Amino acid sequence: MAVYTHLGAEQLAELVAAYDVGELVSAKGIAEGISNSNWLIETSGADGTGARFILTMYERRIDTGDLPFFLGLLDHLSAKGCPVPSTIHDCAGSAFRVLDGKTVALIEFLPGVSPTRPTAQQAQAVGAALAQVHLAAADFPLTRANTLDAEANARILEDCGEDRLAQIDPALPAALQRARDLAAHLPSDLPASIIHSDLFPDNVLMRGSTVSGMIDFYFACSDAMAYDLAVTHAAWSFDKSGSCYDAAIGRALIDGYQSVRPLDAAERNALPILAQGACLRFVASRAEDWLDTPGDAHVTRKDPMDFVRRWDFYDENGQQVFA
């Protein structure tokens, strides 16, 4: 989440009036993240008791033609009991609207706090919730290709160029050849469903050790479920810099997942290389965002080297980690 576009109070009030949610009371921009503009919206509520929502304006890396997939997925998972926010449809029944040429959607606000220092109990609950999503999405009628697979991520790094990558960190250009090699060896025949593919702690809301919300499904796609588990493992099991691995978190996450959906032998054997592929994904996206984010955007750049260090760890220790 982030704020790239600034909307005035009059624009926001007019937009909120298109929904049966009462009148606009307040709106606060949300600065975290890198891809869309987001606001926490408070209204008087349809019944006058007050209500809160998330307003999202789609800015970068998202094809608005995919919105029926993204927003329909939220409604599908929510209806199946997953801790996922549903979309708020406007008075005409539409899940999204266009404002000043940009597409916006109003999303249910879910209570909870994103953990900054996850516990093993929280990681186990997240693993179980991720497996629940994978199973619930099995009969979702729409599909979407993974546009950020390993080959695409290798191309992103190539497009950044060695010289520009070196401006971020002198060691970063070495990821180019590693990316090409990894893309050629990732498995492509593992059990698949709709995956989240971006389940960092800041995309999970918790109340104690209970998952109260899983948010930001805007990279969701059809791909291997074990890859999604590997992405989540890389996102949850390290400190921010990627320098320290927390084995208790990593084990709890996988145990929680398997308590709902056991992995088959092929998936388990593939986890070490899938985890490297997960790291490549964030090395590439962070490098691209670092170089392309406007200087006046209210966004904190994220260091791709944090995931180079994770990549190195999985390359050296993956077999033991996932044994």
In the chain, what are the domain boundaries?
9-108, 120-321
pLDDT at 58: 87
- CATH top class, domain 9-108: alpha beta
Question: CA-CA distance, 229 to 227, in Å (whole number)?
Answer: 5
Specify the DSSP class assigned to residue 123: H
Do the domains spanning 9-108 and 120-321 agree at the CATH topology level?
A: no
DSSP 28-97: EE---SSSEEEEEEEE--TTSS-EEEEEEEE-SS--GGGHHHHHHHHHHHHHTT-S-PPEEP-TTS-S-E
For residue 52, the tally of other CB atoms under 10 A from its CB is 16
pTM for the full predicted model: 0.92
Question: CA-CA distance, 161 to 157, in Å (whole number)?
Answer: 7
DSSP 200-258: -GGGEEEETTEEEEE---TT-EEEEHHHHHHHHHHHHSB-TTS--B-HHHHHHHHHHHH
Show pLDDT as tens, one digit a residue, over the chain (323 residues).
Answer: 455 577 888 999 999 999 999 999 999 988 765 568 889 999 999 999 999 999 998 886 678 889 999 999 999 999 999 999 999 999 999 999 998 888 999 999 999 999 999 999 999 999 999 999 999 999 999 999 999 999 999 999 999 999 999 999 999 999 999 999 999 999 999 999 999 999 999 999 999 999 999 999 999 999 999 999 999 999 999 999 999 999 999 999 999 999 999 999 999 999 999 999 999 999 999 999 899 876 666 567 899 999 999 999 999 999 999 99
CA distances from 52 to 27, 107, 146 (A): 10, 9, 32
> Per the structure block, which two tokens stand in for 143?
């599909």
Burial of 296: CB neighbours in 10 Å, binned 0-12, 13-18, 19+: exposed
pLDDT at 1: 40
CA-based end-to-end distance of the chain: 35
Instruction: For domain 120-321, give the CATH number.
Output: 3.90.1200.10
pLDDT at 34: 57
Question: CA-CA distance, 150 to 62, in Å (whole number)?
Answer: 18
> Per the structure block, which two tokens stand in for 121?
């109990």
